Amino acid sequence: MRRTRSASGSSSAPADVALLAVTYGHAPSRSARPWTGGLCSGLHHRREPRRRRASYPQFVANGCPRTPSINQLPPIAGDCGGRRLATTAWEDRSVLDLTAVRAAVAGSPLLAACRREPVSRTPVWFMRQAGRSLPEYRALREGTPMLAACRTPDLVTEITLQPVRRHGVDAAILFSDIVVPLVAAGLDIEIKPGVGPVVAHPIRTAADITALPRLEPDDVAFVAEAVRSLVGELGPVPLIGFAGAPFTLASYLVEGGPSKSHEHTKALMYGEPALWDELCRWLVDVTTTFLRVQAEAGASALQLFDSWAGALSEADYRASVQPHSAAVLAAIDPLGVPRIHFGVHTGELLAAMGEAGADVVGVDWRTPLDEAARRIGPGRAVQGNLDPAALFAPWEALAPRVRSVLAAGRAAEGHIFNLGHGVLPTTDPGVLTRVVELVHEESSAQ
């Protein structure tokens, strides 16, 4: 397997440990600039000579190579409710003051809910909020393959900002894909439209696992650049970084693509547990590196997606999966940002997922949040869990369901309103905006 290297080809410098020692409850420092109403006020950077942006790979769109500039992106299509984010006046984003970033977002409803503290309103964001449901996203992505878009910081920045502008959500989530770190490490993976990630050479033998390359921070330097750009644009709105959990990534690698039965994955897990653990330990390292890069660049929270964990029994999950998810969550704990852990079809796994060590456990729509909170136990907030399909119902049927989720969420020590899975591609964006407004209105009145 051939390694792909970053444009610089050099090793990244060690992180500034002092900057990373802040906790997500850190209060604004006395040196922080007071708010003046702009979304980016309060963020300041060390004065450095302006430098030209690093060059990006030229990606082909509609037969022509192009590197989109943020100033050349097409205008937003449709009504975005008049919301606009202030833009930064600085150019060199590599010297972002992480302490100022942490201070800017410390009082956000999202981070307060993660800390299980009182909130002025229930925070709300949506998984896959930056995606195909938005006409401006479809216009921007036209002709650009998914992985090419994920490797272009200006595109990532604009796509990530789109739902924040349009819906007024309480957090942005980085536009990326869970296979990005695997591709960056050198694996041959393609995201095929309508299929998902397809692995050219599935990983099934000891030799395959031994040959797996190490992911270096420089391999995902484009992600760090996008995150630095985003936190400068978002100001007090937190940015959530994310990665796939070891089991879900392992399933793609072993199966060679999406699977409903996971037969090859389970065969390896059951039949060759030592090899399974070796593969998962490699994935723990990859996932931890990917998440650390995002947090060190300014992400204010991190979500670990275990999309396929629901295919397992609780016993198998505890024996073969939970230890590896727990290893990732423990490794990123010193970064001082909240950790969210989400899976689908995981109602019977909620207690075990809570024990893995996240600050917040995401819940799909199949388990009411009050029951989920009981299963998860004390010391954790919950996130979720409106059925994504409910967004297609008439408003008079949808609104009571939104209120029901809010009511059930009050049984938890902290609640972040979200869907029970990602936004479906044909969802009406206007409905999402109405849901955000309803959540804010109902929860602020409590």
Task: Give the total residue count for the chain.
Answer: 446
d(CA 446, CA 439): 11
CB-based contact 342:378 (threshold 8 Å): no
Is 141 known to be catalytic?
A: yes
Q: Which of 93, 102, 141, 292 is catalytic?
A: 141
Q: Which of 177, 219, 285, 306 is catalytic?
A: 177
Axis crossing angle, helix 429-444 with helix 153-167, rounded to the nearest 10: 60
Q: Which of 102, 115, 128, 151 is catalytic?
A: 128
Is 24 known to be catalytic?
A: no
Distance of CA 189 to the CA centre of its chain: 20
Helix, strand, or coil (residue 23): coil
Q: Which of 24, 252, 285, 380 is catalytic?
A: 252
d(CA 141, CA 174): 15
Cα distances from 305 to residues 114, 178, 411, in angstroms, run 17, 8, 24
Cα distances from 390 to residues 311, 385, 395, 405, in angstroms, run 24, 11, 9, 12
Is 56 known to be catalytic?
A: no
* Beta strands 381-386; 360-362: pairing state: parallel
Is 252 known to be catalytic?
A: yes
CB-based contact 74:159 (threshold 8 Å): no
Number of other residues whose CB lies within 10 A of the CB of residue 340: 24
Q: Which two tokens stand for residue 116?
A: 């299980």
Q: Which of 132, 374, 375, 401 is catalytic?
A: 132
d(CA 225, CA 238): 16
Q: CA triplet 144, 149, 154: central angle to 5 degrees?
A: 120
Helix, strand, or coil (residue 66): strand
| Nearest partner of 322 among 233, 245, 399, 214, judged by Cα | 245
Is 115 known to be catalytic?
A: no
List active site positions.
128, 132, 141, 177, 252
